[in-house]
Amino acid sequence: EDGYDLWLRYAPLEGEALERLEEFNPQIAVDLYNREDNPTLEAAVRELGFGLHSLLGEPARSRPGGHGRILIDCGSHPTGGEQYFVTTDRQGIRIGGPSHISCLYGAYALLRELSLGADPRTINLTSAPAMPLRMLNHWDNPDGHVERGYAGRSIFDWWNLPDRLDQRMIDYARANASIGINAVVVNNVNAQAYMLEPRYIAKLKRLADAWRPYGIRVFLSARFSAPRDIGGLPTADPLDPAVRAWWRAKADEIYAAIPDFGGFLVKANSEGQPGPQDYGRSHADGANVLAEALGNRGTVIWRAFVYSEHNDVDRAMQAFDEFVPLDGQFAPNVIVQVKNGPIDFQPREPFHPMFGAMPNTRLMLEAQITKEYLGQGTHLAYLAPMWEEVLHADTGRGGTVAQIVQPVGMAGVANTGSDRNWTGSDFDQANWYAFGRLAWDPSLTSEQIAREWAAQTFSRAPEFVEAVVPMMLGSRQAVVDYMTPLGLAHQMATGHHYGPGPWVCDLARPEWNPCYYARADRQGIGFDRTASGSNALAQYAPPVAAGLAADPDYLLWFHHVGWDQAMPSGRSLWAELVGRYDTGVAAVDAMADTWAAQQRHVDPQRFRAVAENLVIQQAEARWWRDASLAWWQSINGLPLPEGTRPPQHELDYYRSLAFPEAPGQ
C-alpha cells in the first residue's frame, strides 16, 4: 500500500465484525422523495457502496435480497444545517438529517463505525458540527510550489484548469468531507493578485463545481493591493471610492461564476504584504471595504498574524496591541483569524491572548497542520494534543479558546501535496484527520481520534492500536523536549526552520533571530515577559496570567532564569534543561522500538517508510540536543551534569551545516 487511500481504506473486516456485517447484508436504498438527481446523495451512495463492498471483502460476500436496508433519507434544505443521524430499527439503518450534506456526513460516520467494528444492528449516531467554518488554508502558489509544504508540489493543477480536472481533486474532496471540512482557501496567504483575474476565476469555478457535492465552499487569498496591481488604479487605499467600487465589481464577477463563493482570506501589513496601514488606515478599514464588496454573500477572514520591525519591545505582543483596540469596529461578515499562539506555530506556545479579549469581534483559530517548526515531513509528531491544549485553555474571559471560537470556526494550514500519500509521511495524515475531527467536535480527545485514525489507516489489531496510540500521543512532547524544552521557542535555523540554529543573531530584524527568543547570557536564559520585562503576561486575564507564569512548560517563555536556579525537581535549571533534551531523545528511541515491533501488522511499503523516517528522527533528535547543548555551554561556561553524554561534535561543526536543498521555504 502506498498511503493514497488515507483513512478511507475500508480494509476488509475479519472475525465477528465481518460475520455481523455479512449477516446484516446491507442494501443501499434512497428515499423516494430524495430520488431527484442530487450529486451529494449520489456521492453518499457511491461511498457507501464502495466502502461496504470493501469492508465485506473481495469478492463481495453479501447475499442477495437481504434485510439490511440502509436508507438514505435527508431533507433537501440547502441551509438546513449539516447535522446527521444514523439510527437502527427492525427495517435497517436510516441515515437522515435536514440537508443533503447530512446524508454524506452520515454515510462517512456509518462507514467509520463499521470500519471500527461496530455492530450494524445497534448503530445509533447523532452529531452536529460544533463550528460552522471548518477550513483548510493552503499555502499553495499558482506555480505549484507550496510554502512550508513538505509533501511535494501543490495538488492544484492551475496550468491545466479549467479544462482538466484531476481525479485527485475528487479524492481530496472525499477525504475532507469524511472528516467534516467544509471550506478551502486554495492559495497562499502571501497571495498573487493575478489569482483574482478572470482566467483564474474560471479555474476556481471548476474546482468549486467539483467540490460543491462534498459540501466544500471555496475561498481565495486576496492581495490587498490588487486594485493597483491588476486593477489599473493608482492606489489601494480602502477609503478611496474607486477602490471600493473595484472590490465590489470583483466580488460580483466572482459570484456570477461561483454563487456560493466563500470569500477572501487576507494577510495584510505582515511580513512585507501590503495592507491598509500603507495608507494610514486601520485593519478594520481594510477588512470592511472587502466585507462591503462581498455583502451578505460571503466572509472576509482577516489574519491577525502581524509583526513589524518597529516593535522593539516584544513580538509576542504586537497582534494584541494592534487588534484589541479595534474590537467592535469590524463589519459583521468579517472574521479575525488568530494563530494558536502569539508568536508563530512553535512546538509549544501559550494560547494567544487575543482569544477572549475581543468580545465584539468574530475570532477564528488558525492552526498549522503542516509541521513547519516540528520536523516537517520527516519527524513523527501527532499534533492533536497540541490543539487540544489550546482549545481547552481557559482564557479567563468568557470561556475556553474552544468556546470563544466555536460560533465561528477553525482553520488549519494544510499539509497536502503531490506525494502519493498526500502528506509526505504516513503519520502526517493523522494531523489532517485530527484537524477535521476536532473542528467538527472539539470535545473529542486526541486519544479517541488517534485510535480511530490508526485503526482505519493501518490495522485494527488491538495490539497494534494499543502500542501505536500511546506512541502518537507522546510524540509532540518529544519534539518539544529535543527542540525547544521548558518554554524555549524559535531556535530553528534561518529560512527553512528545520534544524537547530540557536546561535543565529545577525539577521536584519531582531525578532527573526533565535537569540532574540532565548536571550541566553552568562547568567541565565529565557525571555522575561513579566512586569520586569516586556510584560506580555499582562495581556492575559489576571488569574490566567498567574497560572501561565507558574507553569513549568512555559518557564523560559515568560521568565529569564538563572542557570543555577533550583527547579522543583531539586536540580538546577541547567541540569533540568539538559535532562529535557535527553528525555526527548530517549522518547524518539522508544518510538522507533515501538514501530519496529509492528511489522506484522503493517504492509511492507508503509512499514518501511515510517521506520526509515524514525531512523532519521533519532539522528536528528540527537543533532538538536547536541547542537543546543554545545551552544548553551559556549554561553554559560558550565560543565555538563555528571553522567551526561557530551555533544558528538564541536560547536563549529553544527554552526557550519548548511542546507541549500531544504524544502518548502
Residues that bind ligand BDP (CB under 6 A): 147-148, 189-190, 267, 271, 305, 344-345, 372
CB of 258 closer than 8 Å to CB of 184: no
Q: β-strands 84-89, 92-97: how paired?
A: antiparallel
Contact 157, 149 (CB under 8 A): no
Backbone torsions φ then ψ of 175, nearest 5 degrees = -60, -45
DSSP 266: E
Nearest to ligand BDP of 221, 628 (CB atom): 221
Identify which of residues 491 and 598 has a Cβ nearer to ligand BDP in the complex.
491
- For residue 454, how far is the Cα from the chain centroid? 18
The nearer residue to ligand BDP, 378 or 456, going by C-beta atoms, is 378
Q: Which helix (H) or strand (E) holds 327?
A: none
Least spacing, CB of residue 370 vs ligand BDP, in Å: 10
Q: Which residue is nearest to ligand BDP (CB)?
A: 344
Rounded distance between C-alpha atoms, residue 133 and residue 324, angstroms? 23
Tell the burial category of 531 from Cβ atoms under 10 Å away from its Cβ (0-12, 13-18, 19+): exposed
For the chain, how many residues are written? 665
Residue 278 CB, shortest distance to ligand BDP, in Å, is 17
Provide DSSP, 214-256.
GT-EEEEE--TTHHHHTT--S---TT-HHHHHHHHHHHHHHHH
- The minimum distance between CB 149 and ligand BDP, in angstroms, equals 10
Is 620 catalytic? The answer is no
* Dist CA 599 CA 445 (whole Å): 27
Check 372, 511, 576, 582 and give the catalytic one: 372
Residue in 16, 19, 252, 271 annotated catalytic = 271
* Residue 178 burial (C-beta neighbours within 10 Å; 0-12, 13-18, 19+): buried
Output the CA torsion sign for 631, 665, 479, 550.
positive
Smallest distance, ligand BDP to C-beta of residue 664, A? 9
271 is catalytic: yes
* Rounded Cα distance, 407 and 132, in Å: 7
DSSP three-state, residue 645: coil
Local structure of 615: helix, strand or coil: helix
CB of 372 to ligand BDP, least distance (A): 6
Phi, psi of 9 (to 5 degrees): -75, -30
Q: Which of 319, 313, 367, 320 is nearest to 345 (CA)?
A: 367
Q: Nearest approach, Cβ of 345 to ligand BDP (angstroms)?
A: 5
Q: Which of the residues 47, 82, 344, 528 is marked catalytic?
A: 344
Specify the residue, 190 or 583, whose C-beta has the smaller distance to ligand BDP: 190
Nearer to ligand BDP, 271 or 463 (CB): 271
CA angle 127, 132, 133 (to 5 degrees): 125
Cβ proximity to ligand BDP, 273 vs 617, nearer residue: 273
Beta carbon nearer to ligand BDP, 154 or 572: 154
The three grid cell numbers given for residue 230, joined into one nine-digit string = 491588476
Determine the Cα–Cα distance for residues 263 and 182; give it in Å rounded to an integer.
Answer: 13
Taking the least distance from each CB to ligand BDP, the nearer of 8 and 413 is 413
Q: How far is it between the farthest Cα atoms of the chain? A: 80
- Among 414, 182, 411, which Cα is nearest to 304's? 411
Residues marked as catalytic = 271, 344, 372
